[in-house]
Structure 1
């Protein structure tokens, strides 16, 4: 069963699109979306007759849509709001005190706003119907956008007074039942995603449970203590606090007013002065002012008790030249404020754990949402001639048979629901480790015990591992240094003991891979010295943990853990007779916290044809937020090519009996439908040029497939008790009405609700039948050498993502941002360090 709800069309209508301008009494343009929605709600209440009673959809910015045309092409209205300006969504900047000494009054008087509406265009909703007939109408995306705006407006209006946060097509409501604490002053907030899409079965409403992270509502001081893990108010770093609190919204507890934080006072509450006009006995104010501390004002004039915040800075809610101070303990964070900083590892883990839902729970949540939102009651949807079936869309799916695997000693492995085990089995091609060492950065781990258990487990899997040459423990005095210095000192100790470079280094980290030591350690080993390395941070040493560790180690050292049975026997359809290279491509972008850091592009290509389990990776930096891969083809003045594509082609030629690939299958991750044409027109063109520059001959046949994981479609079994089994394919009813696409779920789905991968076939010059292509994609989900479970996306894409993430940590990009060297503001993008020649062709990313 598919998590999509179908629409029934009754009539075909046109949507009129208009431009909206809202200005205040002082001619300031209103940009606050919440305030804008309230103003237009008031407009409809007071001026509906002039608009012929037509309901409209407003996007919160400058666009307004009605079903059919309005009586005129241009309107001007004046709307008066009687509520306080702050509560209208544009938070007041006037504070409790100002430099003039006057106490600002609550702005509860009427405020006038000028609204201008002008006709812009006509958007035919008929284009959606044409899409179902296999056509590609010009304004299809515009029509779908209009319907999505109606959904957003309906969600916002239904919960307007309780509070609603809109994040693209997801909406979140101020309900404590949807909140879950993830630590550090951050709360996970559950909401719902809804969007319209044309499918083979008709127009569909796709709904899904959605999550975002918000600031934990409540006292500001509680948030700061939790965020900085501080014992009390005096332990807080107020320099960091000032940056964190900037522009956040608060409500005061003593008068229930809302403000936006502008900054913090330079002095603590008991020292911060401001000028106060003296009130005479007759109730008038003297022209002279006296300087008074914020503490004295609140305790003596307002009779409000101030305790701990007397000795810490005040919150400034005033204007830049007219500060207005509030003691911290009188301020509470308003709910539904998004937290945009990067989450820590513990926060991410906590959010993932608390957001997991079993299939039955997710189905029930979506069913309840459909009941609660009453889409059929929405007058705009009704006027569009739309009604909604309340049941999930029924689809037919197939479950492909899992491929067989070959292990050591000729043993065959039969995976069950996407999983298999190496228990009591040898690896297909185990390596031997003679000279190696263990470095231990963790004071909690026993390196000697770990090395003994690893040797014993390796023996059971066929890997002969000698005793480590050295067990290096970090000097406790070195822990006071930064991560780069700690790594350098550890390496100096290690090299002083070794007579020759080791074949392998095992690194025990004090935290998981995201700790600060991971990037410098990987760079030191792979780039500076060319030594394969494996990092670990064991919470509990088990046979399964050590087995997974050995799978990665064996792959990095050139061994093979398992192969597909058909791969080992060279019986891969359409591949065994024709030299074929399989590629995975991905681009990783910076976090919201550092939006200008370079993007990391990674591509991997298969080697040693006819195998499809061995890969080489190339990773480069490129301009920030650029999705198309820029380094595929880089011709030089001497006629050579320094691009990533040629590097992979040469490696394929070297390892495949001097044969060039005549077929190339490309899996591209991370692009949206609007970028599909760029993949074909730019990236494919660059790959063809790289191929042609290496020698004469026609370009190979290409099959280009986009693999999407970031979508909202889920597949459920009819009863919804368990996830769909590994190998489930859906290629009907809910796929695109015109394009060649399908959904495939390959992961075991042991935790939460599985998300299938959405595959879009953009080009197929090779000529795969649908069955052959789906079998190949399923097989490529079983060739990952780093685990004993099928990957949720084909292994080449998974490898590209891993390579980009690992090499991206070689450079601390924060330093470039602090120095003002950003990809956006500079024509030069900092380059990643090159891998040493001893490891550049290895599967270091496993």
Structure 2
């Protein structure tokens, strides 16, 4: 479990990206870390205050300290807030011992004072969060704050931490209001500062040694994080827990560029504190002239001409919500405006009611107004205007050519596929270059010359921690006729000697080609069919229909009608037998795929489909057909392979249900679209066959607890299906849960574990299977680097099976890091497994080896997966649900998705 689960800053849960699917959990395309995103909702842009502007007037008003805010209540806790399972032993022992580097830097804590003072601050009138630090700098320059005699750390919101008391607060009964009027402004800014509590720093030292937990441990870690980040957050562009600079920015096209950044946070280890430092990357809107920015978004547009509707929509999508400045008022005019709309016509054809000197009104164009009022002659009068909210519910327009955008504004919208691909390429970095980048980040952060760290007694090493690790032995993969394969570096080859363990009979199938026959000839499709049939037959399948019917359909045609036509054609050729499989050949990625899946999988009589790209069909080979064959066998209910006997001992002993669960959310701006919960269960004893259930549930917005609200009903359904297939109820349940941040652990533990128990009780009050509940985390910044080349794979990453369960893991709770997959590109991301609840009494070795072994039984490739397949399938199923047509239906309660009864107990989602 992550080291500071209970001792976190309020913003620590803001990393969110699914590394395998390359899809944000909330579709927030802001800051990648290779395959990672940091969401924008804690945006803290660079400090734009002008230190040369003095405070003109200052008022200090004493006050009586109110009760501390509820969130800051200092109530000691006897047990950790998460209530997670304690580590059952001293850690695992199996596997080859080794030592690796990790991006954790040891932190020594030698405070000059035994306590830290926590204060709550309110700023009135309320300002956007981006301005908080700017105003804080104004307050800090006043003698009342400077008389403290030490540096004070501010989190940019409502918390202030100081190693010493703030005299102005304590001299006024624990609360003081300081009013400052900024030079050149009429409005006063009032800062109300209240003392919350004294934090005993010794509590953290005691916890590291003994595991004795108090609330002061949480508060100390929060204070240290605020002190750690105060200086870089004040001087650099901040998104989530990363700070960014424009140095080396890379163009992503469409007005967006990628900036390199640095992620850093205090983490709790075993008897040791660390600072986790990593490289990151973020998407930002380009700065500069508005006209140039608009041209980069719509390259075909000539600023001398009007915008067409398509270009207007594209520009408005990117720029809406961003802040811009104007040039016609001179350099001294610093006001910023928030763009809310783009005018339909140019400045020469956008009119408004202008009040004349005699009190009347007349219609004038924006072009005429700016020429008359500011002597600003427009070079591009047909270019559109930026609209901002005006007085009395009106819209004020600014000609685009008089506007410019400051750099450093995070791009909060969803990146398109090309931008995602470009960003992943730019952000991807092999282990050795990544180490060098992290070392450069340490130099940039300059811990040794950070006075805030010294004030709080922190000293941070500039050398990565050497961490003990083990490399687990991979299981052997078993095919039919006793053929066994030993994975090497997380992968194994497929060849003609490997027959399916449980083949199926294929007697009714066909193809529909959504491509022009002139581009993909019938001869090439028939050649693909022959090659596929040969591969399937060699692997043990009984392909009765050797020459399936092939039909061509136009991409613009009605998909429903074309598929129904293909169904009738196949049924007729097969002699009236129901269709088993329809292979749809598509002209490109994403084209028609959602509509095909939606129609085939939600219609009353479902159709199993397998999509293939025309480019793959045209250049077909045995390797592609073998991979396609694995998916086809899985979809039709067969089994490709299994692990050698005794590799899944816990499962092989029978009566075990392995479950993977995930919740995904709608993309930005899709507030009317619900979240999707998916639950997938293993329903055999060899780790291969899975079935899944999905439901829609209300989208509660960014930061919502991801509780699966209808979990009892889903679990009852899965357990009933398991009994139908296996002929008995499971007596053990191993539940892997993805998509949960550490701050949500208590809620998930309280609700979802209880939901599983409720489901079992509703089946039979006497039915009480032993439950183990494990959270799987990929959205973290822990990275492993091999120190010995013998412990690395071909990509330079740590070898598949590398496990760490000491030093950088939680001091007392049951967690471990496992890098189960082989590296492909960049630096691999290990998975973190956190055991929240365990009635099956796993040892570290048993759970680690079982989890690693499970990663080798996946129906889509001959590689070990980065997370257990049940969770990987839950990802696939959740995102498949996005294809369904009625996904946008509003609902106030959990509601099952409309999967065809013919498909719901199959692996249609692979």
Alignment match, 1:104 = none
- 1:453 Cα deviation after fit: 3.6
User: What number of residue pairs does the alignment pair up?
Assistant: 770
- 1:525 Cα deviation after fit: 4.1
Distance in structure 2 (CA, Å) of the matches to 1:756 and 1:221: 44
- Residue 6, structure 1, aligned to residue 106, structure 2: yes
Alignment match, 2:569 = 497
Q: 1:234 aligns with which of 304, 307, 313?
A: 307
Alignment match, 1:834 = 899
Distance in structure 2 (CA, Å) of the matches to 1:290 and 1:652: 76
Alignment match, 2:141 = 45
Whether the aligned pair in 1 keeps the contact of 2:785 and 2:798 (CA below 8 Å) is yes
Distance in structure 2 (CA, Å) of the matches to 1:489 and 1:203: 63
- 1:298 Cα deviation after fit: 4.6
Q: Which 10-residue stretch deviates more, 30-39 or 708-717? A: 30-39
Q: 1:32 aligns with which of 120, 128, 142?
A: 128
Distance in structure 2 (CA, Å) of the matches to 1:139 and 1:546: 59
Q: Deviations 1:360-418 (Å, cap 9, x if unpaired)? A: 11111111111111123222221211101111111011101111011233211111100
Q: 1:786 to 1:366 in 2, by over 3 A?
A: same
Whether the aligned pair in 1 keeps the contact of 2:683 and 2:690 (CA below 8 Å) is yes
Q: 1:623 to 1:274 in 2, by over 3 A?
A: closer
- Residue 615, structure 1, aligned to residue 694, structure 2: no
1:251 aligned counterpart, secondary structure: strand
Distance in structure 2 (CA, Å) of the matches to 1:216 and 1:549: 42
- Residue 268, structure 1, aligned to residue 346, structure 2: yes
- 1:149 Cα deviation after fit: 2.2
- 1:671 Cα deviation after fit: 1.5
- Residue 211, structure 1, aligned to residue 286, structure 2: no
Whether the aligned pair in 1 keeps the contact of 2:598 and 2:885 (CA below 8 Å) is no
Length-normalised TM-score, structure 2? 0.79
| Greater relative contact order structure (CA < 8 Å, 6+ sep) | 2
- 1:730 Cα deviation after fit: 0.6
- Residue 314, structure 1, aligned to residue 385, structure 2: yes
Alignment match, 1:67 = 163
Alignment match, 1:790 = 864
Q: 1:534 aligns with which of 610, 634, 638?
A: 610
- Residue 358, structure 1, aligned to residue 437, structure 2: no
Alignment match, 1:92 = none
Whether the aligned pair in 2 keeps the contact of 1:606 and 1:613 (CA below 8 Å) is yes
- 1:468 Cα deviation after fit: 4.7
- Residue 138, structure 1, aligned to residue 218, structure 2: no
Q: 1:222 to 1:773 in 2, by over 3 A?
A: same
Q: 1:383 aligns with which of 455, 463, 466?
A: 455
Alignment match, 1:556 = 635
2:226 aligned counterpart, secondary structure: helix
Distance in structure 1 (CA, Å) of the matches to 2:661 and 2:343: 50
Alignment match, 1:87 = none
Q: Deviations 1:444-491 (Å, cap 9, x if unpaired)? A: 54544443443343344344543453222223652xxxxxxx221212
- Residue 473, structure 1, aligned to residue 552, structure 2: yes
- Residue 580, structure 1, aligned to residue 656, structure 2: yes
- 1:755 Cα deviation after fit: 0.7
Alignment match, 1:147 = 224
1:704 aligned counterpart, secondary structure: strand
Distance in structure 1 (CA, Å) of the matches to 2:315 and 2:539: 52
Distance in structure 1 (CA, Å) of the matches to 2:400 and 2:650: 69
Q: 1:630 to 1:51 in 2, by over 3 A?
A: same
1:682 aligned counterpart, secondary structure: helix
Alignment match, 2:810 = 736
Q: Which 10-residue stretch deviates more, 596-605 or 727-736? A: 596-605
Alignment match, 2:839 = 765
The aligned runs of 1:355-754 (5 Å cut-off) are 355-428=427-500, 429-443=502-516, 444-446=519-521, 447-465=525-543, 466-475=545-554, 478=557, 486-498=558-570, 499=572, 500=576, 501-512=578-589, 514-525=590-601, 527-537=603-613, 539-540=615-616, 541=619, 542-566=621-645, 572-608=648-684, 610-625=685-700, 627-633=706-712, 643-656=713-726, 658-695=727-764, 697-718=766-787, 722-754=796-828
- Residue 76, structure 1, aligned to residue 177, structure 2: yes
Q: 2:397 aligns with which of 300, 325, 328?
A: 325
Q: 1:332 to 1:176 in 2, by over 3 A?
A: farther
Q: Which 10-residue stretch deviates more, 68-77 or 221-230? A: 221-230
Distance in structure 2 (CA, Å) of the matches to 1:830 and 1:218: 47
Distance in structure 2 (CA, Å) of the matches to 1:524 and 1:707: 32
Whether the aligned pair in 2 keeps the contact of 1:526 and 1:839 (CA below 8 Å) is no
Distance in structure 2 (CA, Å) of the matches to 1:201 and 1:750: 34
Alignment match, 1:157 = 234
Q: 1:535 to 1:776 in 2, by over 3 A?
A: same
Whether the aligned pair in 1 keeps the contact of 2:648 and 2:853 (CA below 8 Å) is no
Length-normalised TM-score, structure 1? 0.85
Q: 1:42 to 1:458 in 2, by over 3 A?
A: same
Q: Which 10-residue stretch deviates more, 659-668 or 441-450? A: 441-450
Distance in structure 1 (CA, Å) of the matches to 2:318 and 2:254: 12
Alignment match, 1:99 = none
Runs of 4+ with deviation above 6 angstroms = 275-278, 285-290
Q: 1:525 to 1:490 in 2, by over 3 A?
A: farther
Distance in structure 1 (CA, Å) of the matches to 2:309 and 2:669: 21
Q: Which 10-residue stretch deviates more, 141-150 or 537-546? A: 537-546
Whether the aligned pair in 1 keeps the contact of 2:733 and 2:771 (CA below 8 Å) is yes
Q: 1:120 to 1:813 in 2, by over 3 A?
A: same
Distance in structure 1 (CA, Å) of the matches to 2:695 and 2:552: 34
Q: 2:199 aligns with which of 93, 107, 123?
A: 123
Distance in structure 1 (CA, Å) of the matches to 2:586 and 2:679: 28
Q: Deviations 1:481-539 (Å, cap 9, x if unpaired)? A: xxxxx221212332443424321001122332x44542443442454322211112254
Distance in structure 2 (CA, Å) of the matches to 1:287 and 1:692: 77
Whether the aligned pair in 1 keeps the contact of 2:559 and 2:595 (CA below 8 Å) is no
